[in-house]
Structure 1
Amino acid sequence: MNDADAVTQTTTVPLNKLSVLAFACAVVALAALVFLGLSATAVFAVGCGHLALQQLSTGQQRGHLLARLALVAGYGIGIFALLSAAGLLLWR
């Protein structure tokens, strides 16, 4: 049997769907912040990111980077919103 006849079997580790959703929510939250000035949409990125990391810790799936990026973006938007609100209140 030569190499051309050999069938190679590859297994792929599935991608966590919640981490993809968290990353998509983070992208939408960044777009909402830039174009509409809304920061409340970051809550969904943070929530989905935490749930995705919890799921990823228990199983064999990919998506850690997407979930962490969503958390960084979500918390970053939240901190920016708090600092902006504090700046508006303190320096009128």
Structure 2
Amino acid sequence: MTFEEAVSLVDRIKDQVVGVPVKGRFIESLFIGPANWDEMHVFMNICFQKGEDEAIDEFIGKSFSVYGRSVSYIKPDLPRWDVIVLDDWEKTIYN
């Protein structure tokens, strides 16, 4: 989906998804990133180094996905971040 479509999806589902268990994990936040998982590390590095707007600009024209982020703790001070693709959330919930 385009970046604009991903933003629209986030706006539509955020109140239904954040704070709710999805596939056994509580979704704490949503974020938009590249649909191609192999490009995620490049996208995240640009976000950290130059900011999210710059990363989005560099990926415009590519496909984006909406991800739900959850955190669990391996140890009290060692978080483990998990992400779940939510692109089909509306189809899943309404069918």
The two structures share one fold, judged by TM-score above 0.5: no
Q: Which has the larger radius of gyration?
A: 1
Q: Which has the higher helix share?
A: 1
Q: Which has the higher strand share?
A: 2
Higher relative contact order (CA 8 A, sep 6+): 1
